[in-house]
Amino acid sequence: MPESMTPEAAGADPAEVLRRVFGHPGFRGLQAEVVRHVVAGGSGLVLMPTGGGKSLCYQVPALCRPGLAVVVSPLIALMEDQVAALRQQGVAAAALHSELPEEAGREVRRDLARGALKLLYVSPERLTLEATLARLEERPLALFAVDEAHCVSQWGHHFRPEYRGLAVLAERFPGVPRLALTATADPRTVEDIRAQLGLRDAPVFRGSFDRPNILIAAAPREQERAQLRAFIRRAADGSGAGIVYCATRARTEQTAQWLRAEGHDALAFHAGMDAAAKREAHRRFARGDAVVMAATVAFGMGIDRPDVRWVAHLDLPRSPESWYQEIGRAGRDGLPARALLLYGAGDIALARHRIAESPAPEEQKRIERQRLEAMVAIAEAATCRRRILLRCFGEEPGPEAPDPERCGRCDVCLNPPRLWDGTVAAQKLLSAVLRTGRRFGLGHVVDVLRGRHTDKVIQHGHDRLPTFGVGTELPDAGWRSVARQLVARGALDVAVEGHGELVPTEAARPILRGEAPVMLREDTLAAAPGRKAAKAATPGMAGDALFEALRAWRRQEAAAQGVPAYVIFQNDTLAEIAARRPRGLGELAQLPGIGRSKLDRYGEAVLRVVAAGGG
């Protein structure tokens, strides 16, 4: 069998492959179950959050089963990084896509024909070409893996028409296991994937969506840049990357420019850029050290970098699913990471108006409305934010949770907001809006409440209103907070197509009549909880001399090979090495993330760096 040309003989034990090839001591969560199922020839659908460890679910079976494993992936950058990482681990992997230079493409086809490949990454459009399918029919196949399988669903925001063609796999290769993988757990998308990929009778493996290493926080957007600056200062560790999600293309450019002025290596990314510019941005993000990307949600799939330390949103995401997928790009290496959401009343109103006016069918609008309101509830949470978020994924705290209502890893748990009775304040604000004729934005309404004789107040005679000056007990920011929370609970609307006029809704009536008490949250301006972690002292943390020396060695090695640094070793592996200071290859081999191939390639060099002690 030509397959014996690759080092991983078929029939190998999965746990042994995991240890020997990938250097991991054990499977995580559902991995073991999925791997057992696929190795035995079963098909299925895997739902795990970003960073949950989906890749190993097909990579290990690929090495345990005879034949070639074909992995469908929607993004070239993603394919290439995966292939680079696998080759580092001594696995015969290659990618086939439209941007491969002709000579390289010929070489891949040659390797394929002589059975020298174990894993082939391929774009859906390439795979579904008749020529490719015919070529694959001549080969023994281990499995098909369809990564980012939600691209098959028209319901999501990532629909890729080419994915629809994958239905052919079930027809042409009925005996080959098909494993679909996605981080989107929304029931409609799940049903779509099962229908499209012929997985109706196959099991669904649903992992926990909790990502406890990501500390989550949200705050009203008051001074965006000061808030972002403070957040980055807490979250960045000097080496890992960061992402700032912005609602518009213009905002990505402005934010990237500002970040550069702040001294960051910052780039912008949005769908309007041409393919080459996008690829270059992806490349710089994957290869760079502490890169910051200011991006629209177009920057998403294909971010494989495990050491993204933080993700910030400058605008309200449209659903908890999108938000979670975006912040899930942080901390894939399992080390502490942070997410911050900034939002304003205008975002909420704008998103509601967009849905109301969209030409979409009523059923879809209803779903979008539900998602948006769930997102608003998370932003305005007065109880554990993670709890509310996970409930959106149908996940309840397990019996082992120390306190089911407090995760201890979100801003609300760490720094519970004080609630205050805002009934009177809400009434004052609503009546100032009504008395000024629902024709003014918040700035003017606050001027009236605070009793300011501005030109506009005098011009309209608003200093003669009974509500003039009745609101001196709160500062401007306090009134903005009251207004935002009234918008969030649907008692106030903002005329986003007009000039931002405030308009009370039906839900304002019971408040004005004193029939609905209004409990409000006291906003803290702090962008995120927790003090900056002490650095420099802990072995294996940024600042530790040996850790830094190992990183410098890795940077050189990565540059010499033209691959991202993390495919050489991930930060957690370097941290372990720095903490344990192994003295020989035997000790080094025991550390997580060091498989046989990496031990052979880098063992001696790493031991030399350790012996030099980073001094």
> How far apart are CB 150 and ligand ADP at their closest, in Å?
13
Q: At what angle do helices 320-327 and 385-392 cross, to 10 degrees?
A: 110
Give me the 320-349 binding string for ligand ADP, x by CB under 6 A, dash otherwise: ------------xx----------------
Which of the stretches 47-55, 368-376, 380-388, 492-500 binds ligand ADP when contact is defined by CB under 6 A?
A: 47-55
Pick one of ligand ADP, Zn ion, none as the site partner of residue 571 (Cβ within 5 to 8 A by kind). Answer: none
Q: Measured from the CB atom, is 181 or 349 closer to ligand ADP?
A: 181
Pick one of ligand ADP, Zn ion, none as the site partner of residue 53 (Cβ within 5 to 8 A by kind). Answer: ligand ADP
Closest CA to 522 of 556, 557, 474: 474
Pick one of Zn ion, ligand ADP, none as the site partner of residue 410 (Cβ within 5 to 8 A by kind). Answer: Zn ion
Roughly how many angstroms between the first and final C-alpha of the chain, as a whole number?
51
Name the amino acid, one letter, at 530: G
Closest CA to 51 of 367, 276, 429, 307: 307
Distance from the Cα of residue 433 to its chain's centroid = 39
Q: Measured from the CB atom, is 25 or 543 closer to ligand ADP?
A: 25
Tokens standing for 282?
């992806």
Name the amino acid, one letter, at 545: A
Neighbouring C-beta atoms of residue 398, cutoff 10 Å? 9
Closest CA to 89 of 119, 49, 51: 119
Pick one of ligand ADP, Zn ion, none as the site partner of residue 45 (Cβ within 5 to 8 A by kind). Answer: none
Judged by CB under 6 A, the chain residues 520 through 549 that form the site for ligand ADP are none
> How far apart are CB 27 and ligand ADP at their closest, in Å?
5
Answer yes or no whether residue 28 interacts with ligand ADP by CB under 6 A.
Answer: yes
Answer yes or no whether residue 569 interacts with ligand ADP by CB under 6 A.
Answer: no
φ and ψ of 120, to 5 deg: -120, 120
Answer yes or no whether residue 89 interacts with ligand ADP by CB under 6 A.
Answer: no
Among 56, 149, 502, 567, binds ligand ADP (CB under 6 A): 56
Tokens standing for 231?
């957040």
State the number of CA atoms in the 13 A half-sphere of 504 facing the CB. 21
Which of the stretches 31-39, 409-417, 450-458, 505-513 binds Zn ion when contact is defined by CB under 5 A?
A: 409-417
Answer yes or no whether residue 554 interacts with ligand ADP by CB under 6 A.
Answer: no
Q: Measured from the CB atom, is 306 or 336 closer to ligand ADP?
A: 306
> How far apart are CB 405 and Zn ion at their closest, in Å?
8
Answer yes or no whether residue 211 interacts with Zn ion by CB under 5 A.
Answer: no
Among 74, 306, 336, 471, binds ligand ADP (CB under 6 A): 306
Neighbouring C-beta atoms of residue 539, cutoff 10 Å? 15
Among 70, 342, 381, 410, binds Zn ion (CB under 5 A): 410
Among 126, 338, 386, 444, binds Zn ion (CB under 5 A): 386
Q: Please tell me what DSSP assigns to residue 591.
A: S
> How far apart are CB 312 and Zn ion at their closest, in Å?
19
DSSP strands (E only) in 57-213 = 68-72, 93-96, 119-122, 141-146, 178-182, 204-206
Answer yes or no whether residue 268 interacts with Zn ion by CB under 5 A.
Answer: no
Among 6, 14, 20, 24, binds ligand ADP (CB under 6 A): 24
Q: Measured from the CB atom, is 48 or 330 closer to ligand ADP?
A: 48
| Cβ atoms 183, 223 nearer than 8 A | no
Answer yes or no whether residue 606 interacts with Zn ion by CB under 5 A.
Answer: no
| Cβ atoms 466, 428 nearer than 8 A | no
| Cβ atoms 156, 189 nearer than 8 A | yes
Answer yes or no whether residue 211 interacts with ligand ADP by CB under 6 A.
Answer: no
Distance from the Cα of residue 278 to its chain's centroid = 18
Answer yes or no whether residue 117 interacts with Zn ion by CB under 5 A.
Answer: no
Pick one of ligand ADP, Zn ion, none as the site partner of residue 214 (Cβ within 5 to 8 A by kind). Answer: none
Pick one of ligand ADP, Zn ion, none as the site partner of residue 115 (Cβ within 5 to 8 A by kind). Answer: none
Q: Maximum CA pair distance of the chain?
A: 93
Q: Measured from the CB atom, is 77 or 412 closer to Zn ion?
A: 412
Taking the C-alpha atoms of residue 591 and residue 598, their distance in angstroms, rounded to an integer, is: 12
Neighbouring C-beta atoms of residue 448, cutoff 10 Å? 27
Q: Which residues bind ligand ADP (CB under 6 A)?
A: 24, 27-28, 31, 48, 50-56, 306, 332-333, 570
